[in-house]
Amino acid sequence: MADFDEIYEEEEDEERALEEQLLKYSPDPVVVRGSGHVTVFGLSNKFESEFPSSLTGKVAPEEFKASINRVNSCLKKNLPVNVRWLLCGCLCCCCTLGCSMWPVICLSKRTRRSIEKLLEWENNRLYHKLCLHWRLSKRKCETNNMMEYSCKESSHLVQSLLQMRKLRNGIYLN
């Protein structure tokens, strides 16, 4: 009878080496940073709509601009409300022992989730067909120690190959 508790490190080392090799040859991701003047909890009020030169030949500039404009319109609709609640929360913070900040935190999470859903819709509509994948990622600001959200494009082909490899070996990770 086979030991079900036994761990096979050889297979894990081979998988890890394959993942490192695939990631080594994958192109660097394209990062679209926030370019607005107002930032609430790391989320800028707009993203740069200038077409990155590294996407030339992968996606049409018009499609890229339309996608960024959709994200910017979502931000334009949601962030002014977040700023109002932030000001109100700061004014009432001492009286409410910080509880007045909860609406701002919830609204910020809702805005972030709506942008993530929008990017997923864009991925399913167009970018996955082009082997690209857009996502909202948190990264450190270049000028200070604070964190900001940025749109990040990475090669969907490498991620698909890694998922197929894991499915073939009976391992599925989300």
Whether residue 82 lies inside any domain: the answer is: yes
State whether the Cα torsion 158-24-134-173 is positive or negative.
positive
**Tokens 């003047």, residue?**
37
Q: Is residue 13 part of a domain?
A: no
Question: What is the model's pLDDT at position 136?
Answer: 84
Q: Note down the domain range covering 129.
A: 29-168
Q: What is the pLDDT of residue 7?
A: 56
The per-residue pLDDT for 163 is 52
| Structural domain includes residue 9 | no
4 occurs within a structural domain: no
The reply to whether 24 falls in a domain is no
Please check whether residue 18 lies inside any domain of the structure: no
Residue 174: its pLDDT value, please? Answer: 33
Please list the rounded mean pLDDT of every run of 10 residues in the chain (174 residues): 57 64 65 79 84 87 92 90 84 81 86 92 88 82 72 63 47 36
Supply the pLDDT for residue 13: 64
Residue 12 lies in a domain: no
Residue 6 located in a structural domain: no
Give SS3 for 154. Answer: strand
CA dihedral 118, 122, 127, 128 (to 10 degrees): 80
- Number of domain units in the chain: 1
pLDDT for 73 equals 94
Asked whether the beta carbons of 27 and 155 are under 8 A apart, the reply is yes
Does the pTM of the predicted model rise above 0.75? no
Neighbours of 111 (CB within 10 A): 21
Instruction: Check residue 62 and give its pLDDT.
Output: 93
